[in-house]
Amino acid sequence: MGGLIVLILLGLLFIFVVTILAKTVRIVPQARAGIVERFGKYKQTLPAGLNIVIPFIDKVRYLIDLREQVVSFPPSSVITEDNLTVEIDTVIYFQVIDPVAATYEIANYIQAVEQITMTTLRNIVGGMDLEQTLTSRETINSGLRGVLDEATGKWGIRVGRVEIKSIDPPPSIKDTMEKQMRADRDKRAAILTAEGQRQSAILTAQGQKESAILSAQGDRESQILRAQADREAAILRAQGEGQAIQTVFQAIHDGRPDQSLLAYQYLQMMPKIAEGDANKVWIVPSEIGKALEGLGSTMTNLQGIPKEVDGPAKRIDMGDTEPLVESTTTADTEVSKANAAVEAAIAEAASAANPRSAASTAPVAPTPSEAGDPEPPAAPPVS
């Protein structure tokens, strides 16, 4: 019986010792601070780690978190300067730097921070209109941080940042703002479209201008070249006609025409006279021979056309008949052929008109071998 009592006493002693040790040894976690009170009065602040206090005398009243804390406050209604109500949602980043002040200077520092945030926010936003409120988040954040940092300094709290999560205007204002933004976007789109069309028109006009200038320059150069070609062609035609006239004139004088040749030419011209549309009837008189003899007799007095020609042919010097523009070998050959053909035609006409005098007076045309030119083709009588 006595042993049982001893065991009970030893158990009670062990429990008392454990309780004393539990009250004496206090372990504070990292980034925490323990506020110790002795008989209800602040005694000391326990740092993180193992700490010894007097049991039943010292008591750890509060355990303060020294880490930076984030508190999101519910949206608060704020009236702007233009009497519009907006809902503003804020976030506060703060840290306890003095555990004693945070414990004894204020009862609930989180609630105090929330209330001062709301009042300061209403004060700042109340001086702004809706548009400034929506576009001045940084200004509102800076104002809130300055006021909160000054007010909470004596509470042992340092406000690190103040952020506005959202600013919600009334639904009617939202709808109006959306319409305004849509109209503004449509306006900018119309301006950009007009600017693009303007640039396109300018570039198109510049391209057309350059194209017109190049076309005009091309037409000018083309007209100049065409005019030069026409001028050279006209010069060549004039030179060719002059040379042909000189050749015919020289051939006529070399053939020494007489009255019989003129009568033959008259006979050749009669059908052409009858070709007119106004000539319905053409009568050939029986006295055509006498008319020709009379024609020849009437022209005996024409200067330079004798009735009968005797003696050798005398060539009239017509001067230089070479073309002004240098001719090729082919052109010279064609001219020689033409001269030979003209002379042969004149000789044939003269012999046909006066066979007796043509045999003794007509000049002998050089053979192709003597003239050095190929034999000319047979040509019709020259009219």
Query: The tokens 């002998």 sit on which residue?
Result: 364
Q: How large is the average pLDDT for residues 80-97? A: 89
pLDDT band at 142 (very low <50, low <70, confident <90, very high): confident
One-letter identity of residue 210: E
Task: Give pLDDT tens digits for 203-216.
Answer: 999 999 999 998 89
Flag whether pLDDT at 248 surpasses 50: yes
User: Which residue, among 44, 20, 144, has the nearest Cα to 94 in the 3D structure?
Assistant: 144
Task: Give pLDDT tens digits for 52-78.
Answer: 888 888 888 889 999 999 998 888 888
Flag whether pLDDT at 353 surpasses 90: no
Q: What does the pLDDT read at residue 143?
A: 87
Q: What does the pLDDT read at residue 33?
A: 92
* Average pLDDT of the chain, as a whole number: 77
| Alpha-carbon gap, residue 24 to 58, rounded angstroms | 9
Q: When comparing pLDDT for 30 and 311, which is higher?
A: 30
Task: Give pLDDT tens digits for 258-296.
Answer: 666 666 666 777 676 666 665 555 555 555 555 555 554
Strands of the chain (E only): list them.
25-28, 32-38, 41-46, 49-52, 58-65, 69-72, 76-79, 85-96, 157-168
Is residue 367 within 8 A of residue 374, CB to CB? The reply is no
Q: For 286-353, what is the HEC assignment?
A: CCHHHHHHHHHHHCCCCCCCCCCCCCCCCCCCCCCCCCCCCCCHHHHHHHHHHHHHHHHHHHHHHHHH
Is residue 314 within 8 A of residue 222, CB to CB? The reply is no
Q: How large is the average pLDDT for residues 198-203? A: 93
What Å distances lie between residue 225 and 173, 229, 324, CA to CA?
76, 6, 21
Q: Is the dihedral of CA 190, 196, 199, 201 positive or negative?
A: negative
Is residue 251 within 8 A of residue 341, CB to CB? The reply is no
Task: Give pLDDT tens digits for 211-247.
Answer: 999 889 888 888 999 999 999 999 999 999 988 888 8
